[in-house]
Amino acid sequence: MSMDNDTRLAMMHMRNEALRNGNNRPRRNNSRHVRQAASAVASFTLLLFTRGF
pLDDT of residue 37: 80
| Distance separating alpha carbons of residues 52 and 39, to the nearest angstrom | 20
Query: What DSSP string runs through 1-53?
Result: -HHHHHHHHHHHHHHHHHHHHHHHS-GGGHHHHHHHHHHHHHHHHHHHHHTT-
Phi then psi dihedrals of residue 44, to 5 deg: -65, -45
Residues, the chain: 53
Q: Residue 42: its pLDDT value, please?
A: 87
- Specify the pLDDT at position 34: 72
pLDDT given for residue 45 in this prediction: 86
Residue 36: what pLDDT?
Answer: 78
Low-confidence stretches of the chain (pLDDT beneath 70): 1-4, 18-33, 53
